[in-house]
């Protein structure tokens, strides 16, 4: 098994075609003019930045607080200088590791309970303020609205985020 962060060659494709290349350890991709993906480990863990006219919404904060000497929030600020709203699709560590850099994170009420219980069990402070949001809550970014939809399955605290402008549904680990 390769070390964490090591580059792993892609498997050969069917029909004897050449491999597609090396799986990137880290990538930032512009999906649309106002939508970005930050991916780690060959897309094993992804976070998204939705840039509105007035604010930007960050979907999840990744699996580590920094990577190759750069904090996650600095990678997000390289995309936009607008005020940031962080929302976690669920309260697992691979989606919440950099929450403290944002100061505040929005989660479902069950997600808030889970991150608080996890911190208490480990005997640590969260380092950020968890804010509960309910299904139907809408984050207004100025020219786009992103709606919270409860989808408790992978975690009791799982939510999806529906970006009606782009027609995208961000589900975390649900789908």
Neighbour tally for 53: CB within 10 Å: 11
d(CA 18, CA 47): 29
The closest alpha carbon to 35, from 175, 141, 154, belongs to 141
Per-residue pLDDT at 10 exceeds 90: no
Segment 40-52, tens digit of pLDDT: 877 778 899 999 9
The per-residue pLDDT for range 76-102, each reduced to its tens digit, is 999 999 999 999 998 978 888 899 999
Q: In the structure encoding, which two tokens stand for residue 139, read together?
A: 């984050």
Name the pTM for this structure. Answer: 0.83
Segment 94-141, tens digit of pLDDT: 888 899 999 999 999 999 999 999 999 999 999 999 999 999 999 999
Q: How far apart are CA 72 and CA 99, in angstroms?
A: 9
CA angle 167, 50, 157 (to 5 degrees): 80
């Amino acid at each position: 098994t390769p070390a964490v962060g090591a580059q792993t060659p892609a498997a050969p494709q069917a029909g004897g075609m050449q491999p597609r290349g090396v799986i990137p350890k880290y990538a930032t991709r512009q999906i649309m003019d106002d939508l970005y993906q930050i991916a780690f480990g060959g897309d094993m863990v992804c976070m998204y930045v939705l840039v509105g006219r007035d604010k930007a919404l960050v979907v999840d904060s990744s699996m580590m607080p920094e990577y190759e000497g750069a904090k996650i929030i600095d990678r997000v600020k390289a995309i936009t200088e607008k005020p940031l709203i962080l929302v976690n699709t669920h309260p697992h560590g691979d989606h919440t590791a950099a929450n403290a850099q944002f100061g505040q994170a929005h989660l479902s009420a069950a997600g808030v309970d889970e991150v608080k219980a996890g911190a208490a069990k480990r005997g640590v402070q969260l380092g950020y303020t968890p804010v509960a949001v309910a299904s139907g809550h809408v984050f207004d970014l100025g020219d786009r609205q992103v709606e919270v939809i409860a989808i408790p399955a992978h975690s009791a605290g799982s939510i999806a985020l529906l970006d009606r402008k782009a027609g995208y549904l961000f589900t975390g680990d649900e789908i």
